[in-house]
Amino acid sequence: MSEIVKRLLGGELEVTGRLIDASNATLYATLTFEGARSACIYKPIQGERPLWDFPDGNLASREYAAYLVSEALAISVVPPTVLRDGPFGPGMVQQWIEVDESIDLALFYATQDPQLRQMALFDAVINNTDRKIGHLLPDSEGKLYGCDHGVTFHSEDKLRTVLWQWAGEEFTSNERTSLEILASWVINTSELTSLLTVMEISALSTRIRQLLRANSFPLPNPDWPSIPWPAF
């Protein structure tokens, strides 16, 4: 267990603000752990709005499942994330990422940056229905993270993203290896069983196998809007 995860799990959580543009309760909080303070995001389950197309489970569990998949892929595109109790009940707690404000996201998202390609592969795996430009978090050290992964892992093809620049492009050998490792992990792990439904886990395995068979990034689904609205 990393030091960051230990802090997220064991720190004293104090809510100090709220992100008012979020559709669900997204709280800015401070963690105090062994005398050190750090910022985080806290999304309590009781603050979630019901979604007709995601009737089972909760968004916090999908956020944590997305983090686990990111780690299993060995790309770490999701900030360290845990499930724990907090001032407003159980929920998702995630490390706060200080974004590099010098980067113009409206230009950056359409580039060929290799980290964006990793994000596009990750989104294809988790069936992300809402990869907006504003969900991209490049930090000051050059590392790219992504946030807001609550509407993911649907059993139907609902990929909706702004990152289509690699659609139909063949996977590299490293990408294939990562997918093969992930496929084995999904089959053998028990970590997802309390987070996703049996159907969602089965669909995850099927998506990975389909990606490996196609050996390329997916194309937009003609029966589903391919870009989220608003795109930012």
Q: Where are the domains of the chain?
A: 3-214
Residue 54's alpha-carbon distances to 4, 39, 57, 58, 144, in angstroms, are 30, 29, 8, 8, 28
Nearest to 69 by CA among 7, 139, 135, 128: 128
Peptide bond into 222 cis (omega under 30): no
CA-CA distance, 68 to 86, in Å (whole number)? 21
For residue range 51-68, list pLDDT tens digits in order: 888 888 999 999 999 999
Per-residue pLDDT reduced to its tens digit, 189-229: 999 999 999 999 999 999 999 999 999 999 999 988 999 99
Mean pLDDT of 119-142: 97
Distance CA(30)–CA(215), nearest Å, equals 43
CATH architecture of 3-214: Orthogonal Bundle (1.10)
Q: Find, among 62, 10, 66, the residue nearest to 40 by Cα.
A: 10
Look at residue 22 and tell me whether its pLDDT is greater than 90.
no
The model's confidence at residue 50, banded by pLDDT at 50, 70 and 90, is confident
* Radius of gyration, CA atoms only, the chain: 17
Is residue 215 exposed (0-12), middle (13-18) or buried (19+ Cβ within 10 Å)? exposed
Q: pLDDT higher for 3 or 160?
A: 160
For residue 114, give the H/E element and its range. Answer: helix 114-126
Residue 45's CB is within 10 A of a number of other CB atoms, namely 19
What's the whole-number mean pLDDT along residues 35-42? 94
Give the integer Cα–Cα distance in Å for 9 and 213.
Answer: 39
Over the stretch 72-101, which tens digit does the pLDDT of each residue have? Answer: 999 999 999 999 999 999 999 999 999 999
For 201, the token pair is 């886990």
